[in-house]
Amino acid sequence: MPFPHRINSDGTIDSICDQCFITVATSTHESDLAHLEAEHTCEPARFDYYHHESIASKRPPTSDRDHQSARRPHTATTRH
């Protein structure tokens, strides 16, 4: 599993899980991150949340009402 790295303004490097999106580790040396990445296990609830949301957003509408609302632009309403 790849772990993208992000360099912070203070020079530290974050290792981020590309499955559950948690910051796995932060270090001043990139070489320190490998063993922490190897020990990482995704939290099931966090993993399920992100993967359920991404799957749900790719599903086609399931009814005429869903299909019509998907085609109609959303307009904000203001209550006075």
| Burial (Cβ within 10 Å: 0-12, 13-18, ≥19) of residue 17 | buried
Q: Is 5 helix (H, G, I), strand (E, B) or coil?
A: strand
pLDDT tens digits along 11-70: 999 999 988 889 999 999 999 999 999 999 988 777 677 666 554 455 555 555 544 544
Q: Are 35 and 49 in contact (CB under 8 A)?
A: no
- Distances in Å between the alpha carbon of 43 and those of 6, 28, 71? 21, 25, 36
Q: Are 26 and 12 in contact (CB under 8 A)?
A: yes
pTM for the full model?
0.57
Residues facing residue 23 across a β-bridge: 16
Q: Quick one: pLDDT at residue 74?
A: 46
Show me where the domains of the chain are located.
5-61
